[in-house]
Structure 1
Amino acid sequence: MNLNGKTAIVTGGGAGLGRAITLAYARAGARLVVCDINDHALDETTTAVKALGAECLSVHCDVSSSGAVASMFEQVCTQFGTVHVLVNNAATIPARPEDEARRNMHYAYLTTPLPRRSLGFTSAMTDEDWHRFWDVNVHGVFYCTREALRRMEPQKDGKIINIASIAGLSAFSAHSPHYSATKGAVIAFTRAVAAEVAGANIFVNAIAPGGVHTEIFDAYLNSIGEQGRNQLSQMIPLGRLGTPDEYASLALYLACDGHYLVGQTISPNGGMI
């Protein structure tokens, strides 16, 4: 698998899974565009990409702004000419203290003998909670996909990989119904766009990860103690979370030529579903 001569954009590429995908693409010979709103993470990843000998353009971009996304693509085309690969990885995730409290309650509900009841997550949700996930997770995917297709359709060549989540396929993230809804929307959007543009030799697919050992999730694991970690591992037949590199290898495969996958949602999740 190689991406020699290809230009790849990875949104949310500064840290976690996005960083792992960015580095995998750099090793495969791509020219990288790393997009993030965390400038420190952006600088670190850009340095790591250049250390691998790959060309790299770093862009501070909030994908929830259509204007910012359009500006980023203009910068990319000015420097590299066009875009061949887009990874829509940027996302808002449930990581606030109140999100973690709901997650802990839900995991305990799933893994210990407790009376069945409503957990009260949706009825307690505010408008602000709901909308903040859609702005990045759905609108951002649309804005970036639209700009990418405007370059890919004329050249009749392109790969788009949308990072969804097991939350969009199952009830394992019932603690965050707003997050689950956005990732389900990404999966539906992937199928529709894939069918639309396949005739132009543009391959659109999604990855729906289960648990990933990112910095944020590892911090959460450290906060819940041994019992909490054991409860989580009980829900995964493989008994562990996936590593960013394990997911990045799939993102690399989907970005390369030589496969027949169109509109698919692939979920590496250790056997959870």
Structure 2
Amino acid sequence: MSLQGKVVLVTGVGPGLGKACAEAFAKVGARLVICDVSEQSLSEAQAAVEAHGAECLALRCDVSSSAEVRALFERIVERFGTLHVLVNNAALTPNREIDTQRRSALYRYISTPEPRRSLGFTREISDEEWHRYWGVNVHGVFYCTREALKLMEPQRDGKIVNIASIAGLSTKSAHSPHYCATKGAVIAFTRSVAYEVAGANIFVNAMAPGGVATPAFNAYLDQIGEEGRNRLWQGCPLGRFGTVEEYAGTVLYLAGDHYLVGQVISPNGGSVV
């Protein structure tokens, strides 16, 4: 598995999985393109990548805009001439206060003997919230994949790794039906495109992680206290979430040499077996 000198695009490099993936590729000698909507996140990720001696092109891009994605790829071609690996990581995640409340309500419901009822999540989701999630999590994956294939198909070489979630495979994130729907769509899109382009020696797969031990989620764990954490771990046999480095290792593998086409790899500590 040699990624030395390969041109790799990682979208969504804010603190967490995206930044960890960019660093993992930098450590094995890849040339990085990173993008995010946050200038601060871009700056921090670029510094981390360059600290490993890797060449890095950092560009602001809102992947929910097809025009911005086209402009991003024009810059990639201008700088590197091609692209070998695309990691579609950029996504909206349920991390607002209302999402925290819904998440805690779900964990209480599944770990407490009480009468069954509706949890009332879907009826409270606005049109704007629904469309925002689809814009980034699904349309963004499509826009970036479409542009990447324009480069990968002529060269008959490429790897695409889509970051899905166990939310698209199970009820573990039932507190966020809009998020679940988008990640399920990413999985279906992965399988379809993988079948389409495999004959051109392009490998498309997805990673569907379980909980990610990001600073934001660790803060949530502190907030809910010991009882809340114990409720949460009832659904995870390993009793902890995966580190960003552990997940980035899986992404690195999917970007290398293998025989996987259209597969969904789900490192999740046993939460979904």
Q: Same fold (TM over 0.5)?
A: yes
Could you tell me the TM-score, scaled by structure 1's length?
A: 0.98
1:94 and 1:80 map into 2 onto residues whose CA distance is: 35
State the 4+ residue runs in structure 1 displaced beyond 4 angstroms: none
1:85 and 1:134 map into 2 onto residues whose CA distance is: 23
Q: Offset at 1:224?
A: 1.3
Worse overlay, 171-180 or 108-117: 108-117
1:202 and 1:143 map into 2 onto residues whose CA distance is: 17
Residues 46-85 of structure 1 aligned to structure 2 (within 5 Å): 46-85=46-85
Partner of 1:269: 268
Q: Which amino acid aligns with 1:34?
A: I
Q: Offset at 1:153?
A: 0.3
Q: Offset at 1:41?
A: 1.5
Q: Offset at 1:124?
A: 2.1
1:166 and 1:244 map into 2 onto residues whose CA distance is: 15
> What does the per-residue CA deviation read over 1:232-261, in whole Å, with 9 as the maximum and x for residues that have no partner?
11110111100001000010011012x100
Counterpart of 2:35 in 1: which secondary structure?
strand
Q: Which amino acid aligns with 2:202?
A: I
Residues 31-110 of structure 1 aligned to structure 2 (within 5 Å): 31-110=31-110
Gaps of 5+ in 1: none
Q: Offset at 1:12?
A: 0.5
Residues 10-21 of structure 1 aligned to structure 2 (within 5 Å): 10-21=10-21
Partner of 2:189: 189
Counterpart of 2:162 in 1: which secondary structure?
strand
Counterpart of 1:63 in 2: which secondary structure?
coil
User: Is the 1:14–1:35 Cα contact (8 Å) retained in structure 2?
Assistant: no
1:2 and 1:234 map into 2 onto residues whose CA distance is: 40
Partner of 2:204: 204
Query: Would you say how many aligned residue pairs link Structure 1 and Structure 2?
Result: 272
Worse overlay, 191-200 or 127-136: 127-136
Gaps of 5+ in 2: none
2:207 and 2:28 map into 1 onto residues whose CA distance is: 19
1:209 and 1:261 map into 2 onto residues whose CA distance is: 17
Residues 121-270 of structure 1 aligned to structure 2 (within 5 Å): 121-257=121-257, 259-270=258-269
Counterpart of 1:174 in 2: which secondary structure?
coil
Q: Which amino acid aligns with 2:269?
A: G
Q: Which amino acid aligns with 1:52?
A: H
Q: Which amino acid aligns with 1:208?
A: A
1:35 and 1:2 map into 2 onto residues whose CA distance is: 23
User: Is the 1:164–1:186 Cα contact (8 Å) retained in structure 2?
Assistant: yes
Q: CA RMSD in A?
A: 0.8
Q: Which amino acid aligns with 1:30?
A: A
Q: Offset at 1:2?
A: 3.0
> What does the per-residue CA deviation read over 1:30-57, in whole Å, with 9 as the maximum and x for residues that have no partner?
0001111111121111011111010000
User: Is the 1:14–1:34 Cα contact (8 Å) retained in structure 2?
Assistant: no
Counterpart of 1:123 in 2: which secondary structure?
helix
Q: Offset at 1:75?
A: 0.5
